[in-house]
């Protein structure tokens, strides 16, 4: 996807050939977003899929985690992959 590669077997992700230093939860989050690219994922759904928090939890926490993931895999690169949909959640897209 664009210049992002995810190696599910080895739990590793690289962007533009650079290895991304992700925690296991960040890796899970990235995989979730990438698998359902183009689909707007709500914070609740993300919290449930990645952290197993199956209730309307404190959704700010998802924002914090997405921000951290972005700082590692989006910020250093010109093309942004994770986009915020206000009020709804996040979407993984190659073009905005």
Partner 1 sequence: MSSKPNRSASATRRPRRTLAFRLSAAYSLAGLMLVILATASLYIVLRTELDRSTELFLADKLHVLRTMLRERPDDEDALREEIELESAARRYQQFYIRLLDEQGVPIMTTPGMAEQLDLAQLASQTQGRFESSMAMTGRHGRPFRVTSETVAVGTPPTHSDTVQIAIDVSQEEALLVRYRLWFWGILLVTSVLFPLVGYRIARHGIRPVEEIAATARRITSTNLRERIESEGYPSELAALAGTFNEMLGRLEESFERVSRFSADIAHDLRTPVNNIRGEAEVALARPRTAGEYRDVLESSLEEAVRLSELIGDLLFLARAESPLTEVHREDVNIGELLTTVRDYYEASANDAGILLVLNDVAEPLNAELDRSLMLRAVSNLVSNSIAHTPPGGIVTLAASDEDAAMRIDVSDTGVGIPADALPRVFDRFFRVDPSRSKASGGTGLGLAIVQSILALHGGSAEITSQLGRGSRVTLRVPALRTR
Of 56, 71, 75, 79, the one binding partner 1 (CB under 8 A) is: 56
2 vs 64, beta carbon nearer partner 1: 64
Using rule CB under 8 A, residue 57 touches partner 1: yes
Of 21, 38, 55, 78, the one binding partner 1 (CB under 8 A) is: 55
Q: For residues 33 and 31, what is the distance between their CA atoms, to the nearest angstrom? A: 6
Q: Annotate each residue in 7-36 with x if it binds partner 1 (CB under 8 A) or - if it does not, as one string.
A: ------------------x-----------
Question: Do residues 69 and 82 touch, judged by C-beta distance below 8 A?
Answer: yes
- Pair of tokens at residue 60: 């700010």
Residue 71 neighbours by CB under 8 Å, 6+ apart: none
Q: For residues 15 and 72, what is the distance between their CA atoms, to the nearest angstrom? A: 10
**Residues of this chain that bind partner 1 (CB under 8 A):** 25, 47, 51-58, 60-61, 64-65, 68, 85-88
């Amino acid at each position: 996807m664009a210049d992002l590669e995810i190696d599910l077997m080895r739990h590793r992700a690289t962007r533009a050939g650079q290895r991304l230093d992700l925690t296991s939860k960040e890796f899970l989050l990235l995989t979730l977003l990438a698998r359902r690219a183009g689909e707007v994922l709500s914070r609740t759904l993300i919290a449930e899929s990645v952290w197993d928090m199956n209730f309307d939890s404190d959704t700010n926490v998802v924002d914090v985690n997405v921000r951290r993931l972005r700082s590692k895999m989006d910020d250093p690169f010109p093309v942004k992959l994770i986009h915020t949909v206000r009020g709804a959640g996040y979407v993984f897209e190659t073009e905005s």
